Chains A and B, each alone.
Chain A
Amino acid sequence: MANRTDPLAKSIRGTNPQNLVEKILRTKIYQHTYWKEQCFGLTAETLVDKAMELDHLGGTHGGTRKPTPFMCLVMKMLQIQPDKEIVVEFIKNPEYKYVRALGAFYLRLTGTDIDVYRYLEPLYNDYRKLRFKPNDGKFTLTHVDEFIDELLTKDYSCDIALPRLKKRLTLESVGSLEPRRSALEDDFEEEEEKDEDDLLADGLDSEEKDKDYNRVRSPARERDRDRKRDSHRYRDRDYDRDRDYDRDRDYDRDRDYDRDRDYDRDRDYDRDRGRGRDRDRDRDRHRLRDDKEYGRDRERRRRRSHSRSRSRSREHKDRDGDDRRRRHRSSASPKRDEPKKKKEKKAKKDDGTDHPDPEIAEQNRLRASLGLKPLKL
Chain B
Amino acid sequence: MGLELSIAKKKEEERELSMIEVVLNDRLGKKVRVKCNDDDTIGDLKKLVAAQTGTRADKIRIQKWYTIYKDHITLKDYEIHDGMGLELYYN
A interface with B by C-beta (< 8 Å): 24-25, 60, 63-65, 135-136, 156, 159, 360, 363, 366-367, 370, 372-373, 375-377
By a CB distance below 8 angstroms, the chain B residues around A377 are 18-19
- Whether A376 contacts B51 by the Cβ 8 Å rule is no
* Size of the chain B interface, CB-CB below 8 angstroms: 21
B18: chain A residues at CB < 8 Å are 376-377
Binding site secondary structure of chain A: loop
Stretch in contact with the other chain, from B2-10, B30-38, B80-88: B30-38
Query: Secondary structure at chain B's binding surface: helix, strand, loop or mixed?
Result: mixed
Q: For residue B48, which residues in chain A have a CB less than 8 angstroms away from its CB?
A: 366-367, 370, 372
Give B81 Cβ to nearest chain A Cβ, in Å. 15
Q: Is the CB of B36 within 8 A of A375?
A: yes
Assess the B91–A370 pair: CB atoms within 8 A: no
- Pick the contact of B70 from A24, A63, A366, A373 — CB < 8 Å? A63
What residues make up the interface of B, taking CB atoms closer than 8 Å to A? 17-19, 35-38, 40, 44, 47-48, 51, 56, 58-59, 61, 68, 70-71, 90-91
CB closest chain-B residue, reference A369: B51
A159 to B59 alpha-carbon distance, docked (Å): 9
Contact A376–B17 (Cβ < 8 Å): yes
Known A63-B61, A372-B40, A375-B36; 10 more pairs at CB < 8 Å: A24-B59, A24-B90, A25-B91, A64-B68, A136-B71, A360-B35, A366-B51, A370-B51, A372-B48, A376-B19
Please indicate the chain B residues that have their CB under 8 angstroms from the CB of A24 in the complex.
Answer: 59, 90-91
- The 9 A-B pairs of least Cβ separation, nearest first, read A63-B68, A65-B91, A375-B19, A370-B47, A376-B17, A363-B35, A376-B37, A372-B44, A376-B19
